[in-house]
Structure 1
């Protein structure tokens, strides 16, 4: 079977993305530890999902990234809470995104995934980048995806392509896709804060909540609020 690398935090988007290719590829999922508050919960979710789906699982520690980051995800800074109305407010979304931005995170993750791909001869790298979050996170955008794939054409001795099945999808459409491919979405973990139960008020939790609601699919996630 052909091999694939999945950049895998155990979150909703990457779980759905990897599930799209689960039947056709031997998937090697990579979970990164960059000092994020949610690492323990992300790792737990990743391990459970990988075991259920038959993915191979690898952990990479990026201590240096945590040391240079000023993000509220991996510093003592408080992660902002948001309301549903804030999700479509460009100014407030930009403010929230700025707080949780980790320097060049997806650039770093994808480059490391490419190293793994070259080392095992994987054909594709699977990521959970999506249209909704690309509005405030440029490293989730279609332009970023296209640019990285162009880079691989000139910078790698093997054919590697990044696959982002959610690149044109909003969160509710990702939930619908996850339902279609039987992704174990109920096992995924999205909360920025790293609480045992999803906090329900950070931007990631709120987008997850809204996605299931708009999709009309039962949300089995337990939230604190």
Structure 2
């Protein structure tokens, strides 16, 4: 019997690459969350394609209550911030952008639910796309958060489960390199906050994606509106 894993798969570049790292070693059940975000339809569509391509079981979990308590620009009428290339290296501007798209307790909730799935099927690992570059403004992407949650699982779960974040020490361009090396279907991934059919090209997530492919020297097949 092959080893089992749960992947928290949003369909974004980071989670697609992280999951692909373990695709040959584990029988993966991917879970995708709909918490009322503007990009929910696109994220569900691309994760379904990726899971079909890679042979993963796929479950979509709706969290309407999270949408109701959140005033994030991701799942409200508030406009999503646009940033320039220069802004990506301005910590204060990135903190302001991150504050706008912050969803209360999102990774705490997602990882807790992933733990329930892992315990129920006897999975050894939970795969997440947390990374170094985004940890500077999103504390629930940091190595400290990863280590703390693994301590929590050691104490609170009767099973031997570990959260794996292969991009935890990587910047975005290094994630693209890793994705290229492991054959991740990065061309199918969807990183945009806007939820349009094509990437908007101007939100912070799109801008970081565009820069990463350029810095990595790898052809970007993503279609951007701008």
In structure 2, the residue corresponding to 1:112 is in which secondary structure?
A: helix
State TM-score, norm by structure 1. Answer: 1.00
Q: What CA distance in whole angstroms lies between the structure 2 residues aligned with 1:53 and 1:88? A: 35
State TM-score, norm by structure 2. Answer: 0.99
Q: Which residue of 1 aligns with 2:32?
A: 31
Q: Which residue of 2 aligns with 1:93?
A: 94
Q: What CA distance in whole angstroms lies between the structure 1 residues aligned with 2:145 and 2:84? A: 28
- Report the alpha carbon displacement of residue 4 of structure 1 after superposing the two structures with TM: 0.2
1:138-177: CA deviation from partner (whole Å, max 9, x where unpaired): 0000000000000000000000000000000000000000
Q: What CA distance in whole angstroms lies between the structure 2 residues aligned with 1:50 and 1:109? A: 18
- Report the alpha carbon displacement of residue 116 of structure 1 after superposing the two structures with TM: 0.3
In structure 1, the residue corresponding to 2:60 is in which secondary structure?
A: strand
Map 1:70-219 onto structure 2 (within 5 A).
Answer: 70-219=71-220
Runs of 4+ in 1 over 6 A off after TM superposition: none
Q: What CA distance in whole angstroms lies between the structure 1 residues aligned with 2:55 and 2:11? A: 14
1:52-87: CA deviation from partner (whole Å, max 9, x where unpaired): 111110010000000000100000100010001001
- Report the alpha carbon displacement of residue 117 of structure 1 after superposing the two structures with TM: 0.2
1:103-147: CA deviation from partner (whole Å, max 9, x where unpaired): 010000000000000000000000000000000000000000000
In structure 2, the residue corresponding to 1:176 is in which secondary structure?
A: helix
Q: What CA distance in whole angstroms lies between the structure 1 residues aligned with 2:87 and 2:54? A: 35
- Report the alpha carbon displacement of residue 102 of structure 1 after superposing the two structures with TM: 0.1
Count of aligned pairs: 225
In structure 2, the residue corresponding to 1:206 is in which secondary structure?
A: helix
Q: What CA distance in whole angstroms lies between the structure 2 residues aligned with 1:192 and 1:155? A: 34
Listed as ranges, the gaps of 5+ residues in structure 1 are none
Q: Which residue of 2 aligns with 1:15?
A: 16
Q: What CA distance in whole angstroms lies between the structure 1 residues aligned with 2:83 and 2:39? A: 18
In structure 2, the residue corresponding to 1:27 is in which secondary structure?
A: strand
Q: What CA distance in whole angstroms lies between the structure 2 residues aligned with 1:105 and 1:160? A: 20
- Report the alpha carbon displacement of residue 3 of structure 1 after superposing the two structures with TM: 0.4
- Report the alpha carbon displacement of residue 9 of structure 1 after superposing the two structures with TM: 0.7
Q: What CA distance in whole angstroms lies between the structure 2 residues aligned with 1:9 and 1:94? A: 22
Listed as ranges, the gaps of 5+ residues in structure 2 are none
- Report the alpha carbon displacement of residue 5 of structure 1 after superposing the two structures with TM: 0.2
Q: What CA distance in whole angstroms lies between the structure 2 residues aligned with 1:56 and 1:63? A: 23
